[in-house]
């Protein structure tokens, strides 16, 4: 195998020792040495293990990848220490009964009023009173004692050793909710229970789930954990099942729904947690949130939503099981976000989508396979980078760039897409897309455009790309690529013409942006 290709594929997946893990013997009909059969077999074996062995889902992402012989994600740079508005009291919090309408109104100011009616209806004859805490630390024992003190339905333990909460709980901005490794809590759907905090929530190793069937008065209602206002969520090593409902992110299951004018208590972080049958994990309006090394299984909507949340880190997560739509959505001005080292196995629609004026987003080092939809999609973005990803066997496009300016697509391996490996379309006049050092293998077409404006091609390897090299607006230029399948010469494709190019120009992106 040529040293150049070994180095290139190592760069694509971004880990040391990759060649030993993924590259088999040199194929008889090509000299790339990329053993796609072996790579696909390993991905399929991991998928089967996760679907058929429930105990496997409790293992860490790294342990699962090691077992399958797949490369670990590259380490994530440590974020700056979270800033705090002030030290919160750590003594026992004070409890009272409060009307939940105030808390719902605070969330509605920045996240709309949809689904509030379902929450109010779900309370039934008890009305809109919730158990509220202020000024200290709250544990499950504190909640149980306060429920009894205020005449609310008591917490009871079911046959699995899980405490069932049968009333809504509110925690205000000067409180900290602490759930530890021995805590198991199920929120009663028939009773309209939920957890909503505007302070700090710390979940370390706890189990959160849902108890009971449909709510008689609000069948759509499902319990949830929401952290709103300037609140901060820290979740690590937890297990979350069944939470979430509605048409917005605020009640979606596990939600950080920040208020834009309220100062954050700190940076939210979700790590090494299993989410199963949850609607969505959503981060909205928060800066610098981190979602690291989690497992997402059989999610009921977008597995992970990052909206209006700049500088987020989404890294090293594993998405598997049934998935009706995108695994990762980054939208509504979530600029400078990094999506790196995630594995997405199967599911519908694009695995990763970046859209809605989210500038300088970097999608790097992810491994995506067997989606009913596509791999990676950039829509209405600027200065985006899609680099070092492996995209295998998409039923639609491998990588899609649409209505996006100054985009770099580099050093990706895209193989087996039933549509284009790389698709560029609906570009505005003067838009430039740089495609460099990509390896395209056995896609329905290699590179395809529909109003693609200007493409800059450097070092792309199409030596195993068949049946079509180019398609769409640039199909007639295929001969220029056919004469140079390894991309040794740089080409500029624009307006139906191809011309040599000395070197690709740098994009006009803000200083320090990942799009440079």
Same domain flag for 238 and 176 = yes
For residues 232 and 265, what is the distance between their CA atoms, to the nearest angstrom?
6
Same domain, 143 and 47: no
**Domain-terminating residue out of 21, 38, 68:** 68
Q: In angstroms, rounded to a whole number, what is the distance separating the alpha carbons of residues 389 and 410? A: 9
Average pLDDT, the chain: 90
| 128 plus 217 within the same structural domain | yes
Give tens-digit pLDDT for 468-510. 999 999 999 999 999 999 999 999 999 889 999 887 778 988 7
Domain range for 43 is 3-68
Conformational region of residue 123, where left means phi above 0, alpha means psi within -120 to 50, and beta covers everything else = alpha
Angle (CA) 347-348-349 rounded to 5° is 135
Residue 343 has pLDDT above 70, yes or no: yes
Asked whether residue 131 falls in the same domain as residue 184, the answer is yes
Judgement on whether residues 61 and 104 belong to the same structural domain of the protein: no
The answer to whether residue 53 sits within a structural domain is: yes
Do 174 and 271 have their domain in common? Answer: yes
% of the chain at pLDDT higher than 70: 90
Q: What is the pLDDT of residues 131-173, one digit of tens each?
A: 999 999 999 999 999 999 999 999 999 888 899 999 999 999 9
- Residues 166 and 259 both lie in one domain: yes
Reference 242, options 212, 201, 204; nearest CA is 212
pLDDT in tens, 252-286: 999 999 987 888 999 999 999 999 999 999 999 99
Predicted local distance difference test score (pLDDT) of residue 350? 94
Same domain, 179 and 57: no
Cβ atoms of residues 252 and 223 within 8 Å: no
Polymer length in residues for the chain: 516
Domain assignment of residue 169, yes or no: yes
The answer to whether residues 128 and 51 belong to one domain is: no
Beta bridge partners of 315: 292, 340
38 and 143 housed in the same domain: no
For residue 34, the model assigns a pLDDT of: 63
From the list 351, 401, 392, 341, the residue with the least C-alpha distance to 374 is 351
List, in order, residues 6 or more apart from 60 with CB less than 8 Å away.
Answer: 272, 293
Q: Residue 387: inside a domain, yes or no?
A: no
- What single DSSP character describes residue 336? T
The residues, ordered by sequence, that sit 6+ positions from 392 with a Cβ below 8 Å of its Cβ are: 36, 39, 40, 43, 367, 368, 369, 370, 415, 416
pLDDT digits (tens, 9 = 90+) for 375-413: 999 999 999 999 999 999 999 999 999 999 999 999 999
Quick one: pLDDT band at residue 87, thresholds 50, 70, 90?
low
pLDDT of residue 78: 59
% residues pLDDT > 90 (the chain): 80
Report the distance separating Cα 232 and Cα 198, nearest Å.
Answer: 8
> 126 with 190, same domain?
yes
Same domain, yes or no, for 17 and 163? no
Q: Is the dihedral of CA 478, 5, 373, 399 positive or negative?
A: negative
Angstrom distance (rounded) from CA 244 to CA 207: 15
Q: Is residue 431 part of a domain?
A: no
Q: Residue 286's domain is classified under what CATH number?
A: 2.160.20.10
Whether 29 has a pLDDT exceeding 80, the answer reads: no
Which spans in 18-165 are helix H? 18-22, 36-52, 61-68, 101-111, 116-122, 140-149
* Least confident segment among 87-101, 136-150, 426-440: 87-101
For residues 14-36, give the mean pLDDT. Answer: 42
Question: CB atoms < 10 A from the CB of 116, how many?
Answer: 19
Smallest CA-to-CA distance from 381 within 409, 402, 408 is with: 402
Question: With 0-12 CB in 10 A as exposed, 13-18 as middle and 19+ as buried, what is 81?
Answer: exposed
Average pLDDT over residues 229-244: 97
């Amino acid at each position: 195998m040529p040293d150049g290709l070994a180095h290139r594929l190592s760069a694509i997946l971004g880990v040391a020792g990759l060649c030993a893990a993924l590259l088999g013997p040199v194929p008889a009909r090509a000299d790339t040495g990329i053993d796609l059969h072996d790579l696909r077999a390993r991905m399929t074996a991991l998928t089967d293990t996760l679907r058929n062995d429930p105990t496997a889902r409790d293992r860490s992402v790294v342990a699962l990848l090691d077992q399958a012989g797949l490369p670990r994600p590259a380490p994530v740079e440590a974020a700056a220490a979270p800033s705090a508005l002030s030290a919160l009291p750590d003594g026992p919090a004070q409890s009272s009964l409060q009307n939940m309408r105030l808390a719902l109104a605070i969330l509605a100011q920045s996240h709309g009023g949809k689904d509030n009616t379902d929450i109010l209806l779900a309370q039934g004859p008890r009305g809109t009173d919730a158990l509220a805490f202020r000024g200290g630390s709250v544990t499950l024992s504190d909640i149980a004692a306060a429920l009894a003190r205020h005449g609310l339905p008591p917490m009871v333990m079911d046959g699995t050793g899980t405490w069932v909460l049968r009333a809504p709980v509110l925690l205000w901005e000067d409180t900290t909710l602490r759930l530890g490794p021995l805590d198991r809590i199920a929120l009663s759907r028939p009773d309209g229970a939920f957890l909503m905090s505007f302070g700090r929530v710390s979940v370390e190793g706890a189990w959160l789930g849902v108890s009971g069937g449909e709510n008689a008065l609000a069948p759509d209602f499902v319990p949830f954990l929401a952290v709103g206002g300037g609140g901060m969520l820290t979740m690590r090593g937890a297990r979350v099942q069944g939470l979430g409902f509605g048409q917005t992110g605020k009640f979606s299951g596990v939600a950080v729904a920040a208020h834009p004018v309220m100062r954050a208590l700190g940076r939210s972080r979700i790590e090494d947690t299993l989410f199963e049958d949850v609607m969505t994990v959503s981060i909205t309006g928060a800066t610098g949130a981190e979602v690291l090394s989690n497992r997402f299984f059989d999610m009921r909507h977008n597995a992970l939503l990052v909206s209006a949340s700049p500088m987020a880190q989404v890294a090293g997560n594993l998405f598997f099981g049934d998935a009706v739509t995108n695994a990762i959505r980054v939208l509504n001005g979530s600029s400078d976000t990094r999506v790196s080292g995630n594995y997405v196995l199967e599911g519908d629609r694009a695995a990763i989508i970046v859209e809605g004026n989210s500038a300088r987003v970097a999608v790097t080092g992810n491994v995506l396979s067997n989606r009913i939809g596509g791999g990676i999609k950039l829509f209405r973005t600027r200065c985006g980078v899609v680099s070092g990803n492996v995209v295998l066997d998409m039923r639609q496009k491998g990588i899609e760039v649409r209505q996006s300016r100054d985009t770099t697509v580099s050093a990706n391996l895209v193989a087996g897409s039933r549509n284009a490996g790389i698709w560029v379309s609906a570009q505005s006049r003067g838009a430039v897309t740089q495609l460099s050092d990509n390896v395209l293998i056995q896609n329905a077409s290699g590179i395809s455009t529909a109003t693609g404006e200007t493409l800059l091609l450097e070092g792309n390897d199409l030596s195993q790309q068949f049946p079509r090299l180019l398609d769409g607006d640039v199909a007639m230029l295929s001969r220029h690529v056919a004469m140079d399948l390894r991309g040794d010469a740089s080409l500029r494709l624009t307006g139906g013409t191809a011309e040599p190019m000395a070197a690709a120009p740098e994009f006009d992106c803000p200083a320090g942006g990942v799009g440079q």
